């Protein structure tokens, strides 16, 4: 179920795509570093979301306080590991679609490539049947933008 911020206040959501510059041979190591850093930093910044990765593209959804999300996107924009960033959608939403996900990597077919870390520290895999309609809608937007397979 989607969650709002404490007190039920709206949150800011930003969805972007980019072209990966990470050489295929370096991807496992580099992506592991990205996820480790993202989970740690995002929790402190009250940011949740998911990252879709294909061989050549990234698509990511970030949710949280607007200033924190925009600051993170600014750092992401300057990261040399990708190029040609484009914002697919941004704005205030009534609640988080990914409030229980500190950050998750989702395969192009919609299955979790790695376990999801929830905001309370629990770890569990996600499957398409476990996604809310809103999460599925966001993932469809992301997949369509980068030409990933749809579920």
Tell me whether residue 1 is in a domain: no
Domain for residue 127, yes or no?
A: yes
Residue 43: inside a domain, yes or no? yes
Beta bridge partners of 52: 59, 106
DSSP code of residue 57: E
User: pLDDT by residue for the chain (151 residues), tens digit each?
Assistant: 334 455 567 899 999 999 989 888 888 888 888 877 887 788 889 998 888 887 788 889 999 999 999 999 999 999 999 899 999 999 999 999 888 766 555 554 444 444 444 444 444 444 445 677 888 788 788 888 887 654 3
CATH number where 88 lies: 3.30.70.100
pTM: 0.76
| Counted domains in the chain | 1
pLDDT at position 116 is 44
Question: Phi then psi for 3, rounded to 5 degrees?
Answer: -125, 145
Whether 72 maps to a domain, the answer reads yes
Domain of residue 20 covers 6-146
The pLDDT assigned to 119 comes to 47
């Amino acid at each position: 179920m989607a969650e709002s911020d404490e007190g039920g206040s709206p949150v800011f959501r930003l969805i972007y795509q980019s072209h990966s510059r990470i050489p295929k041979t370096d991807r496992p190591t580099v992506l592991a570093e990205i996820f480790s850093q993202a989970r740690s930093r995002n929790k402190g910044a009250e940011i949740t979301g998911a990252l879709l990765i294909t061989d050549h593209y990234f698509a990511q959804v970030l949710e949280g306080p607007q200033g924190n999300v925009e600051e993170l996107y600014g750092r992401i924009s300057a990261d040399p590991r990708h190029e040609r960033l484009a914002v697919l959608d941004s704005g205030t939403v009534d609640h988080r679609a990914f409030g229980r996900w500190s950050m998750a990597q989702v395969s192009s077919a919609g299955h979790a490539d790695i376990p999801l870390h929830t905001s309370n520290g629990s770890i569990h895999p996600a499957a398409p049947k476990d996604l809310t309609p809103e999460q599925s809608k966001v993932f469809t937007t992301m997949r369509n933008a980068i030409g990933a397979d749809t579920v």
